[in-house]
Amino acid sequence: MEHFDFIIVGGGVIGSAIAYGIGSRGYSVAILDGGGEAYRASLGNFGLVWVQGKGQGAPDYAEWCYETASLYPDYAQRLLEETGVDIAYRKPGGLTLCHDESEYDKRVKIIERLARESRSGSYDCEMIDRQKIQAMIPQLSLGSKICGGSYSPHDGYLNPLALLKALHIGIKRSGGTFLPGMTVVNLRHKNDSFIATTSLGSYSSTKIILAAGHGITPLATMLGMQIPVAPQQGQLLVTERVQPCLSIPISGIQQTLEGSFVVGLSHRNVGFNTDMDTALMKQMSQRVVDAFPQLSRLRIVRGWSSLRVLSPDGLPIYQQSDSCPGAYAVTSHSGVSLAPMHQGHIVDWIVEDTEPNNFQAFSARRFDVKETAH
Ligand SMILES: Cc1cc2nc3c(=O)[nH]c(=O)nc-3n(C[C@H](O)[C@H](O)[C@H](O)COP(=O)(O)OP(=O)(O)OC[C@H]3O[C@@H](n4cnc5c(N)ncnc54)[C@H](O)[C@@H]3O)c2cc1C
């Protein structure tokens, strides 16, 4: 049976960032990734590296998001140098638009709460009025409904498919092995090593990391961990290409370097269902047209839905198994935004057993009913 220092189950953006980090440190690492039937959030997401609004009631997560955004410029440059792939990362800041006074008031409360909860007592995101927003987007006229919004200088965006490609090239160049079509059906911990069985054979490793997105829960149970995740559907629409006219990402609207507008930000709890909902598509398009009436002329050329991998509180889970030490579970809804953290801090934790500050906030024990009842 082939043996590796590390096996990672799941080759999405999370498993791949970890594999690249481990391979770069000189260890042998293999990714076992599922077959064509698997749900893959990494192939269907919006590509934001987003800080603003994240981490209400969870200051450790708000700080985690700040840190990753501060690491991203160097990270993107390093990926380019090491893999030759430009992930098209840009950090012009980001906007959230408010379409009426009640949305504005709600946004103010969120930003004030994040400021109150932050360790420094301030939160680097400001509410701005319509005029200021218009000045940031001179080439598109704001619709009459837009009354203001929030702006954070830390937000940015990238091409998520290019990110995944860069990570896969990086894994290969650092000596890692990517094994596609290898759905893991059984995991065992025996004599200080792990055995992962797929329909095509078994592999062993000294440590194992579960980064299997929607497939993580049953695998984690086999290694003594409770990792609850659930699907939440998001739809994305893509328009025909036009001249660049929006150079800042807006929560739910962005223009790619190639000129397409991508429209997102829908949330449906419909289980493992990736059907498009036409009424929702209409609502999403209307919201864009309300914000920027000029865009009403654009044709939508593509659309898809994809399933977010959500923990019960929406925050990442980073957990080592108590009963099978050396087995780890890693899952997060913000796998694109957090790629530098997963390739850096999470790999330090797994390889060197060094925990980042306040790391216990991300343990799956927070969902343990018996523990929280005390
Ligand atoms: C609509 C939408 C918009 C989003 N927008 C953003 C955004 O703007 N910014 C951001 O940071 N994040 C965003 N996300 C979230 C982001 O896409 C996810 O956090 C990230 O892709 C999760 O990566 P992953 O590797 O955990 O999961 P996945 O990409 O789902 O990969 C999991 C992998 O595990 C494999 N697998 C599963 N079971 C097994 C098994 N038994 N054996 C072997 N392999 C297995 C599958 O084959 C799959 O390849 C968005 C998500 C959605 C759905």
pLDDT given at position 373: 45
Topology of domain 2-47+161-229+312-373 in CATH is FAD/NAD(P)-binding domain (3.50.50)
Determine the length of the chain: 374
Residues 6+ away with beta carbon under 8 Å from 324: 189, 194, 223, 224
For the chain, what is the radius of gyration of the CA atoms?
21
Which pLDDT score, from 0 to 100, does residue 235 have? 96
**Residue in 20, 42, 217 to alter for ligand 1 test, most ligand atoms within 8 A of Cβ:** 42
pLDDT given at position 370: 58
Q: Which residues of the chain have pLDDT under 50?
A: 371-374
Q: What is the pTM of this model?
A: 0.96
Query: Ligand 1 test: best mutation among 18, 40, 275, most atoms within 8 Å of CB?
Result: 40
* pLDDT confidence of residue 165: 98
- Which residues lie below 8 Å from residue 108, measured CB to CB, with a gap of 6+? 127
The confidence score (pLDDT) of residue 69 equals 97
The reported pLDDT for the residue numbered 36 is 80
16 Cα nearest atom in ligand 1: 25
* Per-residue pLDDT, 374: 44
Instruction: Work out the mean pLDDT of the chain and round it to a whole number.
Output: 95
Nearest CA to ligand 1 atom 16: 335
Q: How far is the CA of 182 from the centre of ligand 1 (A)?
A: 17
Domain boundaries, the chain: 2-47+161-229+312-373, 94-154+230-310
94-154+230-310: CATH architecture: 2-Layer Sandwich (3.30)
pLDDT digits (tens, 9 = 90+) for 334-367: 999 999 999 999 999 999 999 998 899 999 999 9
